[in-house]
Amino acid sequence: MNRFHRWYCRTDHWRRVVQREILPWVLGDADLGARALEIGPGPGLTTDLLQARIPALTALELDPRLAAALRRRTRGGNVTVVEGDGAAMPFPDAVFTGAVSCTMLHHVPSADLQDRLLAEVRRVLRPGAWFVGSDSTPSLVFRLAHLFDTMVPVDPEGFATRLARAGFVDAAVGRGRGAFRFRARVPAA
């Protein structure tokens, strides 16, 4: 993430947007179970909110500095922070009861790696588990915020198909103002 992005994702304004708009829209009535995975928490604003809902939350973060800061901040609680790559997760198969990813897929440097991440999420989820999330859609402001930053926009129109190719069922994608949300389930055993 570029310097502006790192700053903005820690602001009270962004915290309010996540708390009031993004997370309720993404989660809806989805039950992520007792042992859920958050992919790409960044500075952890979503983690702060999810930890109150999920008994055991694992946050997987690629950036070593962000992972270390989140680990220090959540020490002693129900959050385990793991530094790692979503496209090559360091977890065994079928270990999580649900997964969530908010506004981070566009930071994955290619569509192929995004698809690998989707397949990895599918691999680490138990049968019947939900994968929910959101991402931004391109706009001038979005592009300016990502100058000198990784930005590979995800096309919401084809995302349900990409989820199905990764092995999910019941994939649904909904559009909102400047963003889209998704949900998909691992087939039941």
Residue 150's CATH number? 3.40.50.150
Query: How much is the pLDDT for 159?
Result: 95
Rounded to two decimals, what is the model's pTM? Answer: 0.90
Encode pLDDT of 112-148 as tens digits: 999 999 999 999 999 999 999 999 876 555 555 655 6
Q: Which domain holds residue 73?
A: 3-25+33-185
Number of H helices, E strands in the chain: 8, 7
What's the pLDDT at 23?
86
How many domains, in total, are found in the chain?
Answer: 1
pLDDT tens across 151-188, in order? Answer: 778 899 999 999 999 999 999 999 988 889 999 999 99
* Residue 25 confidence (pLDDT) above 90: no
- For 71, counting Cβ atoms within 10 Å of its Cβ (0-12 exposed, 13-18 middle, 19+ buried), the class is middle
Closest CA to 121 of 183, 52, 176, 56: 183
Q: Which two tokens stand for residue 92?
A: 């065994």
Burial of 19 from C-beta contacts in 10 A (0-12 / 13-18 / 19+): middle
pLDDT score at 62:
95
Short-list 141, 143, 161, CA closest to 152: 143
Query: What pLDDT, in 10s, does the model give residues 40-99?
Result: 998 898 999 999 999 999 999 999 999 999 999 999 999 999 999 999 999 999 999 999
